């Protein structure tokens, strides 16, 4: 499942390095934040996450996965990642690369920059996302025990739409909008969706777009969670 358009022609191939440079410069200039812990959570445990980008002259696509239903957070759309292990030496970038290699078979990734540390609502973890450039010819090899499907999001198409669907919430005295992204029949939500929305904010000026606004839709968190559990 993916959002794919026309492939590059020889005429457009020369534009690829320029687009990659624009993305790299935008991410390197970005200053990631430490988003505070959510109400009732400590969010003190960190997970290294990779947000893989596949760049061509005509498209910028983010690669996400649908988690196998039997895993924790099963049935959710996420980016490859997990908790650090001893071999990572406390380096969450190494964690992100290792997890991407284990989940998707990604071997050659250029780290472009970091996004904000994002707390997770359903646990005390927080995502520490690193954006990585994947070779456009890389063949993905999803691990079937962890990955039910590979999903792609067309970054420029999302930017060109001008708006992002969101869930309005009012919890613990805090009101706001939480972005969601529909990918075929799946929905990306929560910390992962906030991370992808931050990527859109960072890349919008570099790719010649306005930052897409959040617009409340008809989705609720209850409906999204029920869909994950099949209720």
- Give the three-state DSSP class for 179: strand
Both tokens of residue 99? 């997890």
Pick the more confident residue, 200 or 225.
Answer: 200
Among 106, 94, 95, 129, which Cα is nearest to 202's? 129
Residue with more model confidence, 70 or 211: 211
Can you tell me the distance from the alpha carbon of 115 to that of 169, in angstroms, rounded to the nearest whole number? 23
Average pLDDT, integer, range 57-74 = 86
Domains and CATH numbers, the chain: 10-229 (3.90.79.10)
> Would strands 174-179 and 163-171 be described as parallel, antiparallel, or unpaired?
antiparallel
Using the structure block, give the residue that is written with the tokens 């649908």: 66
Pairing of strands 163-171, 213-216: parallel
Judge whether residue 108 has pLDDT over 80.
yes
Above 50 in pLDDT, residue 43? yes
Q: Is the pLDDT of residue 73 over 80?
A: no
Helices 190-203 and 16-29, packing angle to 10 deg: 110
Output the pLDDT for position 25.
Answer: 97
- Residue 170 confidence (pLDDT): 84
What stretch of H or E contains 198?
helix 190-203
- The residue-averaged pLDDT of 200-211 equals 97
State the pTM of this model: 0.92
SS3 35: coil
The answer, yes or no, to whether residue 228 has pLDDT greater than 60, is yes
Q: Is the pLDDT of residue 176 over 60?
A: yes
Mean per-residue pLDDT, 79-86: 96
Look at residue 62 in the predicted model and tell me its pLDDT.
98
Name the pLDDT band for 4 (thresholds 50, 70, 90). Answer: low
Give the CA radius of gyration of the chain: 17
Q: Reduce the DSSP state of residue 130 to 3 states and report it.
A: strand
User: What is the enclosing helix (H) or strand (E) of 45?
Assistant: strand 45-55
Task: Name the one residue in this structure whose structure tokens are 């061509």.
Answer: 56
Q: What is the rounded distance in angstroms from the CA atom of residue 4 to the CA atom of residue 102?
A: 25
Share of the chain above pLDDT 90, in %: 77
9 pLDDT higher than 50: no
CB-based contacts of 58, cutoff 8 Å, min separation 6: 5, 6, 7, 8, 12, 15
Residue 90 in this model has a pLDDT that exceeds 70: yes
Q: Which residue has the higher pLDDT, 50 or 172?
A: 50
Q: Where are the alpha helices (DSSP H) in 69-174?
A: 92-104, 155-160
């Amino acid at each position: 499942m993916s959002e794919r358009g026309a492939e590059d022609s020889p005429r457009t191939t020369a534009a690829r390095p320029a687009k990659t440079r624009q993305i790299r410069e935008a991410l390197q200039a970005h200053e990631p934040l430490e988003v505070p812990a959510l109400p009732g959570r400590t969010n003190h445990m960190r997970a290294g996450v990779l947000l893989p980008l596949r760049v061509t002259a005509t498209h910028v696509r983010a690669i996400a996965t649908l988690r196998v239903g039997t895993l924790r957070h099963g049935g959710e759309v996420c980016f490859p990642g997990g908790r650090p292990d001893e071999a990572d030496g406390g380096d969450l970038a190494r964690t992100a690369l290792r997890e991407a290699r284990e989940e998707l078979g990604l071997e050659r990734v250029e780290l472009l920059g970091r996004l904000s540390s994002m707390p997770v609502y359903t646990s005390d973890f927080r995502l520490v996302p690193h954006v990585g450039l994947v070779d456009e010819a890389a063949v993905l090899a999803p691990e079937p025990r962890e990955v039910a499907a590979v999903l792609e999001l067309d970054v420029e198409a999302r930017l060109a739409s001008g708006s992002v669907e969101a869930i309005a919430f009012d919890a613990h005295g805090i009101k706001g909008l939480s972005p969601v992204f529909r990918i075929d029949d799946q929905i990306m939500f929560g910390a992962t969706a906030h991370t992808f929305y931050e990527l859109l904010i960072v890349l919008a000026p570099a790719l010649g777009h306005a930052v897409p606004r959040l617009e409340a839709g008809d989705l609720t968190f209850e409906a999204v969670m029920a869909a994950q559990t099949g209720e």
